[in-house]
Structure 1
């Protein structure tokens, strides 16, 4: 079914639409089959395929809130930077995608939030199939700390026909992880046409902390895709893209910390020794989407993505005179650069058709992420002046394979129409880590010098992990229409994890239309997220020396590690949630539509990293009870707290004709507030070592509650004529709060105020095939509030990474497009 047919269906009466649903219901309605290549206009009355088993409902008629974003929406919002996650943040107030720096793995794989919850509490689908997560654990970040998020930027913007975002718990419909909602990315299809596009952009900004005008972050991209016919009515669409981005730097002048103020170090005072901003990156993408009709009415289908990205990340500067440096190697000090080599692959194949009055869909899905972490311009000071300066610090891999079998059929009874879906899924997951090269974690002969590669010692052989598990599930779903006024979606699922046992989840959502133009909707659902394999088994080690010249270690321990057990670690429990939603939808005349949704999400046993446990008591305990190198610090994953998130979301559209063209005005607003209801107690084993030890403290509480803005809003105006396309978008990013725990009771904090961001684009069609566009994001060159003296690290890091506004300033771009 193409978009045109969908729109024609949406204008039918409810009984007629239900009769159409009986004929066209798919086994997995989230899978968009044979989508038209041309995008549709963004409105609340576009037919959706996410969140319901019926195939005739629009976003305005859905029982749960759904956003629909077209290819054109995404292309304008992404710009030449080409980041799918950034485009989603620009278009969806409930979606947060911060730019982190000096944050370890988060410099390379950015984590996204929906409704203020954790990145691993949103389920991502591609053509209705579960997407795999990244293999990299982001332990050094603020947002997404301790998670392995889906890498949105591994999916090329040019491959997307549209995206549907279900803002509601959907575990019973799609399986575990769908606590905050579901993002369904639907790939472009169709046998006709294609496009080639190239663009260039850069940052041009006034950097107040240093009083300079900077031009950096130059970004170039090129991508294209083309379709061709396969058989009678089938298609193959393939695409590829390349992007290259230069670094940005918003660091201030170095004041040099008091403890490092030696004559040699003061010689570099006043320089920009640090880095705050994006690192250099290069990426190459490829993708395909295909369907082939078979005899007997069946259809063979397949799609896949391939992504290779090399990125650089920032780390703290090491001063010329200090234990971490040998002046013979770096006479002016050095700043290690992390290097990420990211390979991401996904492939799906399946067949769908009809047998015995049932529609069926059977598929195999395999996805994998391989990440190699390296350091350059670094040093293992314990090896002396002969130390290497480049290291491979670890290898990470996550792979999942799924098999799905789904059946659905429509039927009518007593004046109502229904679509029943039944199905089963089997999923195999495997998580592996590999040690870095020996020099990256070696303890050399120079006592008193820190061991291991600076800015992240390599994984050691004792840290290596190899975990796997199987997950099986079965579900039933029923979508019903009871005349024109009342519709429901009912789902139930049983999911069994090899390592965590079984769990039932369910969802009931309903919509009642008082009039053809005014309706209320509501939903209640239970949802489930098992700890990731990385949260169960990931370990890492950093090695150094104490004041007595003894080798000491800092370790992130798995909960199964004997040391962690002795400190009070317990087996992790799954996160379980209860979601409640209540909404109103309205159509006022022919031009205006509106939705307002209220929600509450109560989550038990939220998983987070513990505080870092340090000090003499830990050292003495480990030394007395375990035959390992003295341990200076330790932390592990815990079921940290129960939380309750309450919020509201508003979306409105006004459509009209103006000056011979089409005008679309959109307003959207989102608010989500998370509160801690029950914090895990410090275990007696830990309290017995030192009454001052806290298992879950202020930093991680801040991460879960108010590190992300509670409120975001946007206003946009778009006008399209025969040749001109104009767009203006105004975003308001709400305030956020940062809390640090530097030890000794020193816990500085700062609230960063709300910020406004103005984006705009002007497009012109030279002829039916060629078009050009110029535009910019953050045109007024806004920055977040500057960090205070307790947080800006002696002038080096004037801006925090919390604000969705980022700290890169104004960005200008242009692009040219050829469509055929």
Structure 2
């Protein structure tokens, strides 16, 4: 099994020796003894006994890491060794729905479950972001943090066990099922930071968060229901620099008068969230129970966009005498509802369920303009509606038996999934081509979807699967799984997995796994189309189109039908536990993926414009892109996890931390088709900019060392995180490809919580207490001083955040 570079591995070993590292913290002593339900059919395996690496995060872990701002994604980034959740800005839809990564892979290559049932993705395609570009990710922040009992994270390919998309791993969110407890919690915080590009101390990002949950038993046979509500309000942040005025704008007196002002916004937009959830079980018969659960999220958000100058072609001074900066508005509604029954049929356990997930997103703009309509243009637009529906019907059977010198759990089942993706046109004024033909058409900062852009796609997916988890004596265990999956539009695929663990002595065991996995192109990647007018990477105002691979224009440019991604995962590692105080695990992995799906480079220039107009009668197309099977990739990495705990004073000291390394390399890069080269020999279908997105835009390394001390009244926690280097590459054309590698950054978080009574507690704390920022971008990347910080670093660009919290439990 190939291993990562020596330097990162050396750091991992140094971390293990200097301060034990782990991904699992604890409510009491440790989560290591929690019986896991993810990645195996066995009913009695714990974290260190699993054949593949699994992290378990408790409700207390999530509460302390994520409740300060109500974001589950932020909590997972703080706690998991290889989870990345960057903060986007000026990134289109990614300003509203943030994408997450596991093991440095794409956001759509991790499968998310809630109570073991498949979670749906967002409807909004991230086409202007860096991380997650071209994907429709699962919206982690639509899952209420107060609803969580624990989270199990399987860091290994699991397509044979759970179906497509489980390439990097599986994140299983398990909901609170305790009917005898409840809580009311409120927190308030804000950023208070020194912003060096403007030499000012700023207080912003004020965030208030409220949650309440309660439960009750139903009857005397174990039935219950649990419900909860969350409200969150976040004000925006801004880390933009002083405008130096782009050289390609008209250097008129009115434009130059804006020099030295903050005309842009770089940071988090305003947002308001409402989350609600329910989890219930009701016994029936002698051995069965009905269950149901659901989550609901409604979120209104704002996003940032580039400034339009007073005398630019995108403005009329009668409307905006001093120029304008469009603000995007997102109306996001997300829901999941699951109902089912489980119990015993003789020697078999059964679980039959129906799972429905829905996301719809309405995209609007304010402070915008359709310049082609002239001074009478509206300034507010609806640019499009997006919707995704997923329905899953599942029947799962399992039973235990003894044979061949061991105890076994056999599982089998069938599953049917239906997916539907729809987009609807925006306001006619958002895409209209008006009488001012010398001006750009469509609403600025995102032209509306046209009737020709609308998509309505659906497909059926059916699968059958089987698995066998075995324990041979006290030392040897295995997991074997196989799955047959049939896509209506892509045909059939077999996936399989073999994993094993052998314990040489109670203090040492080795484990290994091999699997093949499958990720079909999403319906949005197949059918999404959009027309927009905005600024390209070099700051030039262009009218562009994202074309589906079925569009005749895209096919004339060389687009091919998308193929599914196929991967092979290998892992090898060891676990060790010495007494009740110390444990460690180290796992190496390699993930080979063929036919990675990505957006092409933006193809632009006079040759493209003329070709589209001459052959298709569509004028003014200055840029075009479409989805491609871009490359084969190989990702190699390592993850270190360990724990050390000891009694100290009147409490317990727990040292915690994480380390991960993941490096992705490109192989067999797709060539530029002859159709494009015939237009211009300098055209590149998939070049340095989009290659950078897949390989170096995400930090390769992540380490964290933490300590917590808990007594009957006090809880003290701290965490020092290190995020590794990341590299940004732009391609401005003509061979000009400015590149910058941003150095590693450290983030210090700490919290003190005091229990006034057994029911009441108060806490104060801070994140990024040393007020660290990423490196400032070089002039070629900072867009004339306006955007001094890039969005690549997980540390973000908001600076220090301080908060207080009060909690009442009952």
Q: Per the shorter chain, which TM-score range?
A: over 0.9
Task: State the alpha-carbon separation in 1 of the partners of residues 458 and 65 from structure 2.
Answer: 38
Q: 1:701 aligns with which of 691, 695, 698?
A: 691
Deviations 1:410-444 (A, max 9, x none): 00013300000000100000000000001111111
Please, which moves more after superposition, 304-313 or 661-670?
A: 661-670
The aligned residue for residue 181 of structure 1 is 169
The aligned residue for residue 562 of structure 1 is 552
- 1:273 partnered with 2:237: no
Task: State the alpha-carbon separation in 1 of the partners of residues 29 and 326 from structure 2.
Answer: 47
The aligned residue for residue 663 of structure 1 is 653
The aligned residue for residue 256 of structure 1 is 245
Normalising by structure 1, we get a TM-score of 0.94
The aligned residue for residue 238 of structure 1 is 227
SS of residue in 2 equivalent to 1:268? coil
Task: State the alpha-carbon separation in 2 of the partners of residues 468 and 427 from structure 1.
Answer: 11
Any unmatched runs of 5+ in structure 1?
Answer: 1-37, 546-550
The aligned residue for residue 274 of structure 2 is 284
Deviations 1:623-662 (A, max 9, x none): 3322333432211000000000000000110011101101
The aligned residue for residue 149 of structure 2 is 161
Residues 366, 402 of structure 1: 8 Å contact kept: yes
The aligned residue for residue 380 of structure 2 is 390
SS of residue in 2 equivalent to 1:251? coil
Count matched residues. 778
The aligned residue for residue 431 of structure 2 is 441
Task: State the alpha-carbon separation in 2 of the partners of residues 580 and 425 from structure 1.
Answer: 26
Deviation at 1:194, TM superposition (A): 0.4
The aligned residue for residue 139 of structure 1 is 127
The aligned residue for residue 215 of structure 1 is 203
Task: State the alpha-carbon separation in 2 of the partners of residues 343 and 39 from structure 1.
Answer: 33
Where do residues 5-44 of structure 1 align in structure 2 (5 Å cutoff)?
42-44=30-32
Residues 269, 301 of structure 2: 8 Å contact kept: yes
Where do residues 303-318 of structure 1 align in structure 2 (5 Å cutoff)?
303-318=293-308
The aligned residue for residue 623 of structure 1 is 613
Residues 441, 543 of structure 1: 8 Å contact kept: no
Q: 2:192 aligns with which of 194, 198, 204?
A: 204
Deviations 1:223-276 (A, max 9, x none): 110010113211000000100000000000111112222111111111110000
SS of residue in 2 equivalent to 1:597? strand
Q: 1:111 aligns with which of 99, 104, 110?
A: 99
Task: State the alpha-carbon separation in 2 of the partners of residues 384 and 620 from structure 1.
Answer: 26
- 1:331 partnered with 2:321: yes
Deviations 1:122-175 (A, max 9, x none): 000000000000000000000000000000000011011110110000000000
Q: 2:115 aligns with which of 127, 130, 145?
A: 127
Deviation at 1:42, TM superposition (A): 4.2
- Deviating above 4 A after TM superposition, structure 1's stretches of 4 or more consecutive aligned residues are 38-42
Please, which moves more after superposition, 653-662 or 620-629?
A: 620-629
- 1:649 partnered with 2:642: no
Normalising by structure 2, we get a TM-score of 0.95
The aligned residue for residue 630 of structure 2 is 640
Residues 379, 390 of structure 1: 8 Å contact kept: yes
SS of residue in 2 equivalent to 1:86? helix
Where do residues 791-810 of structure 1 align in structure 2 (5 Å cutoff)?
791-810=781-800
The aligned residue for residue 594 of structure 1 is 584
Task: State the alpha-carbon separation in 2 of the partners of residues 421 and 178 from structure 1.
Answer: 19
Q: 1:404 aligns with which of 379, 384, 394?
A: 394
Residues 445, 532 of structure 2: 8 Å contact kept: no
- 1:484 partnered with 2:469: no
Where do residues 406-421 of structure 1 align in structure 2 (5 Å cutoff)?
406-421=396-411
Q: 1:97 aligns with which of 85, 94, 103?
A: 85
The aligned residue for residue 712 of structure 1 is 702
Task: State the alpha-carbon separation in 2 of the partners of residues 559 and 178 from structure 1.
Answer: 25
Give the number of the structure with larger relative contact order, counting CA–CA contacts within 8 Å between residues 6 or more apart.
Answer: 2
Where do residues 445-594 of structure 1 align in structure 2 (5 Å cutoff)?
445-542=435-532, 554-594=544-584
SS of residue in 2 equivalent to 1:153? helix
Task: State the alpha-carbon separation in 2 of the partners of residues 476 and 99 from structure 1.
Answer: 40
Deviation at 1:445, TM superposition (A): 1.0
The aligned residue for residue 22 of structure 2 is none
Task: State the alpha-carbon separation in 2 of the partners of residues 544 and 603 from structure 1.
Answer: 33
Task: State the alpha-carbon separation in 2 of the partners of residues 624 and 252 from structure 1.
Answer: 43
SS of residue in 2 equivalent to 1:790? coil
Task: State the alpha-carbon separation in 2 of the partners of residues 623 and 456 from structure 1.
Answer: 22
Residues 42, 68 of structure 1: 8 Å contact kept: no
Task: State the alpha-carbon separation in 2 of the partners of residues 631 and 800 from structure 1.
Answer: 29
Residues 544, 552 of structure 1: 8 Å contact kept: yes
Residues 42, 70 of structure 1: 8 Å contact kept: no
Task: State the alpha-carbon separation in 2 of the partners of residues 226 and 615 from structure 1.
Answer: 60
Task: State the alpha-carbon separation in 2 of the partners of residues 593 and 775 from structure 1.
Answer: 29
Residues 31, 58 of structure 2: 8 Å contact kept: no
The aligned residue for residue 9 of structure 1 is none
Task: State the alpha-carbon separation in 1 of the partners of residues 598 and 698 from structure 2.
Answer: 16
Residues 39, 158 of structure 2: 8 Å contact kept: yes
The aligned residue for residue 5 of structure 2 is none
SS of residue in 1 equivalent to 2:68? helix
Q: 2:771 aligns with which of 768, 776, 781?
A: 781
Residues 67, 145 of structure 2: 8 Å contact kept: no
**RMSD of aligned alpha carbons:** 1.3
Deviation at 1:295, TM superposition (A): 1.4
Task: State the alpha-carbon separation in 2 of the partners of residues 507 and 440 from structure 1.
Answer: 50
Task: State the alpha-carbon separation in 1 of the partners of residues 34 and 494 from structure 2.
Answer: 32
- 1:319 partnered with 2:309: yes
SS of residue in 2 equivalent to 1:563? helix
SS of residue in 2 equivalent to 1:679? coil
SS of residue in 2 equivalent to 1:329? coil
- 1:681 partnered with 2:675: no
Task: State the alpha-carbon separation in 1 of the partners of residues 176 and 542 from structure 2.
Answer: 54
Deviation at 1:554, TM superposition (A): 2.3
The aligned residue for residue 41 of structure 2 is 53
- 1:72 partnered with 2:60: yes
SS of residue in 1 equivalent to 2:248? helix
Residues 29, 645 of structure 2: 8 Å contact kept: no
The aligned residue for residue 14 of structure 1 is none
The aligned residue for residue 415 of structure 2 is 425
